[in-house]
A and B are shown apart, each in its own frame.
Chain A
Amino acid sequence: MKVIYHCYGGTHSSVTAAAIHLGRLPEDHTPGAEMFLQIPLYDQQEACEHGRIFFMGIDEYGHEVYLTARRNRPVILEKVFAGLAEIFGVPASSYCLVNAMSQVNWIMMFGGFLSRRLGLIGVGRPIVIMGTRVAYFKLVKLVKKTKENLRADGEKSSLLQQQPLSRGCSGRSHSYRPASGGERPGCRQFSEPAIFEYARRRRG
């Protein structure tokens, strides 16, 4: 299972949630500023990288943990994933999108804006770290809930031998699981050429 935490800029809440998930941050107490700064990608990602999915590690159950930025368009992420999974026959049960934005407070938003958007890292970073510390246990709760859901899904899958999972919910909810109706096994039969992006020729 691929677990993908997503938030606006992929720099604070999703990074922190992914780090908690992987055990790089403690679940029982709020870490200090230096621990946040040791996490790769914390307060690092630039706007030109939004949409790129970064691999963070593999958790104790073998789930691959990723994170991404999707600005204020979670629906684009969810629909792109659902659409491509349907086209390429990727099983709906193979990934889980977790919205970390729901745990973000205004301190994080303000600090993140100063640090990432305005480039005032010296001012913004301490503020965003303070905001992350305030929201820390909400993120821990989100991660625990995600792990519980993953465990329940795993147990259900092993019991029911990979029967389709229940329909997920999209939008502003904590996590999104695509509908299993979109699965099209045997659909991966493309033999087309390699042109990924078409640079359009302008007239004249």
Chain B
Amino acid sequence: MGKDGHGNEIYALSIKGERGMPYRLVESFLRINKIPRSNLLMVDSGVGDNFYLLAGRFFNRSGFLAPLGWFLTYTGIKKLYGELTRLSTVVRDGLGKSLD
């Protein structure tokens, strides 16, 4: 996705309904390749998904109801935006403090 102010690389990962397994896979990957766990921070940004986002996701898949899906997704993101901002601020500040 890009780099933040501290030079940290930012990525996005879709886990498609699986919550625990991808974490264990990532942990195992780091372990077997002897990469320190501190090199990677995983942030679950999907735990606050609201009804609008879930409904939007559903309608986005159906052809003629896709515009309704987009509207619901937009509404869902708007309602969640404050929380997402707080989440990213907390994470970014945490990284900044540790680097200082």
* Chain A positions near chain B (C-beta within 8 angstroms): 2, 48-53, 55, 64, 66, 68, 70-71, 73, 76-77, 80-81, 83-84, 87-88, 90, 94, 188, 190-198, 200-201, 203
Contact = CB atoms under 8 A, between A and B. Distances in A.
Contacts of B87: 198, 200
B32 A2 contact: yes
B22 A51 contact: yes
Q: Which 3 A-B pairs have the closest CB atoms?
A: A193-B98, A51-B24, A194-B38
B28 A51 contact: yes
Contacts of A53: 25, 28-29, 31-32
Main secondary structure of the interface of A (DSSP, over half): loop
B39 A192 contact: yes
A78 to B, nearest CB: 10
Given A192-B39, A198-B43, 15 more contacts: A51-B23, A52-B24, A52-B27, A66-B32, A70-B21, A76-B22, A84-B30, A87-B40, A88-B33, A94-B33, A190-B39, A192-B6, A195-B95, A200-B48, A203-B83
Contact of A68 (B23, B28, B30, B95): B28
Interface residues of B, number: 42
Contacts of A76: 15-16, 18, 21-22, 25
Contact of A192 (B21, B25, B99): B99
Main secondary structure of the interface of B (DSSP, over half): helix
Contacts of B26: 80, 84
Contacts of A70: 21, 25
B21 A73 contact: yes
B91 interface: yes
Contacts of B41: 192-193, 195-196, 198
Contacts of A66: 32
Given A52-B28, A194-B37, A200 B47 contact: yes
20 contacts: A48-B20, A51-B20, A51-B22, A52-B28, A53-B25, A53-B28, A70-B25, A73-B18, A76-B21, A87-B40, A188-B35, A188-B39, A190-B40, A192-B6, A192-B41, A192-B99, A194-B37, A198-B41, A198-B90, A200-B47
